[in-house]
Structure 1
């Protein structure tokens, strides 16, 4: 496996990153564990997840992917061999109302709450690489093109 330096950090991540957005919906816990075991055996140390996974995002399954990863990390005792990336969901406006009471703008309180919940589900005390899944402001994400630029923007 080839490894790359992650930005200006000292982290060395595998050239391949294991995506996890289907675990807990399209893939069950056993399948996820098998994929994680195989990836680790092949030298993949970079795992990407998000608080909103699995997709499609639903209140009934939200966070399940991180919980599966947390169970695997706990059972395998391999946290020191993994570079773990997760993400905070940006505002879902009309489709993510189950996140933090529907007011999930990217302010300090929401990001801290998201981090705390991710740490709990992942059964770890640190996240190596934390990202914003999409911005707070209106923009062309999820295939939306040609949106009108808002006259007034209250985004953070």
Structure 2
């Protein structure tokens, strides 16, 4: 397996990342364990998940992916061998996760604590915003009408909340998953 340093970090990640968004929907817990074992045995050390997984998102399955990974981590004792990435869902219409999905301090802290519980770990190597606070064209819609409205939660507030969690030792590095920019 080939590895490279994740830019602006000390994380050496495998060039192949195991995406897990089907664990709990298309994959059983046993299949998830087998896939995780298979990947790690072949040198993959980068595992990506999110609080809203599996997809398609549903209230009755939300969080199962992280729970399966957490059970595998505690069963396999391989936490120190993997770079674990997860995501806070952000401002989308998924009120069964949290009533208000803004990327404010309260929501980010709650989301991370819930993910840490499901993942059965004390820290996340790479914690990402699944989407930025502002409305974006996440999936490349042609002629997307970018709104000119001001969001109530500023990027500064979001970054300050994430920085608090870095200082607390719960997050090593931060990022954003689905980001694009307007014309």
- Structure 2 length normalisation: TM-score? 0.80
Instruction: Confirm or deny: 8 A CA contact 2:133 2:151 kept in the other structure.
Output: no
Distance 1:47 1:119, change over 3 A: same
- Which consecutive residues of structure 2, in runs of 5 or more, have no partner in the other structure? 154-183
Residue range with higher mean Cα deviation, 13-22 or 1-10: 1-10
Alpha-carbon separation, structure 2, partners of 1:79 and 1:32? 16
**Please, what is the CA RMSD of the aligned residues?**
1.2
Tell me which stretches of 4 or more aligned residues in structure 1 moved more than 6 Å: none
Q: Map 1:1-156 to 2 at 5 A.
A: 1-93=1-93, 96-101=94-99, 103-156=100-153
- CA distance 1:140–1:155, change in 2 (3 Å): farther
Contact residue 51 and residue 62 of structure 1 kept, 8 A: yes
- TM-score of the pair, normalised by structure 1: 0.93
Cα distance in structure 1, aligned partners of 2:53 and 2:68: 11
